[in-house]
Amino acid sequence: MDMQKSRKCADGDPLIQLQGCKTVVGAKQLKKALLNGKASRVFLAENADPALTEPIEALCLQHHVDCAWVPSMSDLGHACGIDVGAAAAAVIA
């Protein structure tokens, strides 16, 4: 699955897409959103534990949800408006 990490967002900084959107943060909430069909785009941190990100990436592929890799948990947490790092986040409908 590391092959997906090389497929970073080609249209610039993917974190910009989180601004002004309703999001969920964290693996547990994100999995629920994916299973309920509410997640429209998922963001995973490259420096997060693969034990957390790989199952989410697999769910994204299974549910045909676009997945973007971002450089760090710190960047992802900041983009989501929280003061701690985040391994995973999603834009929800």
Domain ranges of the chain: 23-92
The encoded tokens of residue 38 equal: 């509410």
**What pLDDT, on the 0 to 100 scale, is given for residue 13?**
66
- Rounded Cα distance, 38 and 21, in Å: 13
**What pLDDT, on the 0 to 100 scale, is given for residue 53?**
94
- Rounded Cα distance, 27 and 37, in Å: 15
pLDDT > 50? residue 78: yes
Least confident of 5-9, 11-15, 16-20, 76-80: 5-9
Range 23-92 classified under CATH 2.40.50.140: no
- Rounded Cα distance, 72 and 89, in Å: 12
Q: In the chain, pLDDT over 90 holds for what percent of residues? A: 63
Average pLDDT on 55-67 reads 94
Adjacency order of strands within the sheet including 23-25: 23-25, 88-92, 39-45, 66-70
The encoded tokens of residue 53 equal: 């990100």
- Rounded Cα distance, 12 and 16, in Å: 8
pLDDT > 80? residue 3: no
Q: Terminus-to-terminus CA distance in the chain, angstroms?
A: 26
pLDDT > 70? residue 21: yes
